[in-house]
Amino acid sequence: MADLIHCITNPISMMQCANAVLAIGDKPIMAEHPLEVKEITNDASALLLNLGNISDTRMEAMKISFEAALFKELPIVLDAVGVACSELRRNFVLGLINKRAALMRDKSRKFKGFFLIKGNNSEIKALLDEHYRGLGVDADESLKKEDSIKASIKLATSLNAVVLCSGETDVITDGKETFLLLNGVPEMGSVTGTGCMLGAVCASFLAHDKSLDQVIKACAFFGIAGELAREELLKNQKDMYEGCSPIGCGSFLIKLLDELSVVNEDIIEKRIKLQNI
């Protein structure tokens, strides 16, 4: 039976996120009105919060849904878009984190919720260092991979959460175990919303099983879909151009959605590029 995935995300990538969840076989709902989100979150199997293009309405709705998901112990994916360039976003995320920490300190209940914080290297660093600032919502090319690994481990350990630092190499860690995933293609960075789609894919995978392994599978699934999309487009276009096979952004996005609907466990097992460090 398909799971209901509640996504409070931004209008820039809303349709792509919904289509990604549908491609997996689950049911997306993109409700963001503060007066209905608690009810909808309570019916869902996972919650995605994405801070892209933030607004007062979405911030209020996110607070309500976050609290509802915490008490129901749903898996929560928090995509910290833009926290490196905006104090508003950074303080908002830290407020949600503090609310979860207070619940975890409550000795009257054994908290079993699964919390995934997703961001690029700039966003992960910004959640650790209040003095750090990035430019826009893009990754910081000056940050080294080793620094991103250390920052991800430190953040995961301090929050008792799982951290996904997405990029050319994805870093996935719960603070105890750390994995590097190398699947994906550069074209994924040329289309707006692919990072948001990855967050939705993670939420969908976690609805089925709340584990670090599911985060790894979700990232591999998405990266491999991108690889297959590129390969198919190059194959189809090689006879149309002399010596080069350009891939258009629009064609790539459509083909990526196609591949998301056909990638399966066997393909993931054959193509996953994973390192345990």
Domain that holds residue 35: 4-276
Question: Six-digit token pair at 41?
Answer: 């979150």
- CATH code for the domain in which residue 143 is found: 3.40.1190.20
Does residue 118 have a known ligand-binding role?
A: yes
| Number of domains, the chain | 1
Burial of 44 (0-12, 13-18, 19+ CB in 10 A): buried
Does residue 152 have a known ligand-binding role?
A: no
- CA–CA separation, 91 vs 83, rounded Å? 8
The pLDDT of residue 263 is 96
Residue for token pair 């699964």: 114
Element (H, E) at 79: strand 76-79
**How confident is residue 142, by pLDDT bands cut at 50, 70 and 90?**
confident
Tell me the mean pLDDT in the region 50-76. 97
The pLDDT of residue 212 is 98
Inter-residue long-range contacts of 125-130, CB under 8 Å, 24+ positions, other chains counted: 125/84, 125/151, 126/80, 126/83, 126/84, 126/90, 127/80, 127/83, 127/90, 127/93, 127/94, 127/155, 128/154, 128/155, 130/90
The pLDDT of residue 106 is 78
- CA–CA separation, 52 vs 8, rounded Å? 10
Does residue 148 have a known ligand-binding role?
A: no
The pLDDT of residue 173 is 98
The tens digit of pLDDT for each residue in 180-219 reads: 999 999 999 989 999 999 999 999 999 999 999 999 999 9
Determine what percent of the chain is predicted with pLDDT higher than 70: 96
Strand partners, 79: 50, 118
The tens digit of pLDDT for each residue in 232-262 reads: 998 876 655 555 557 888 899 999 999 999 9
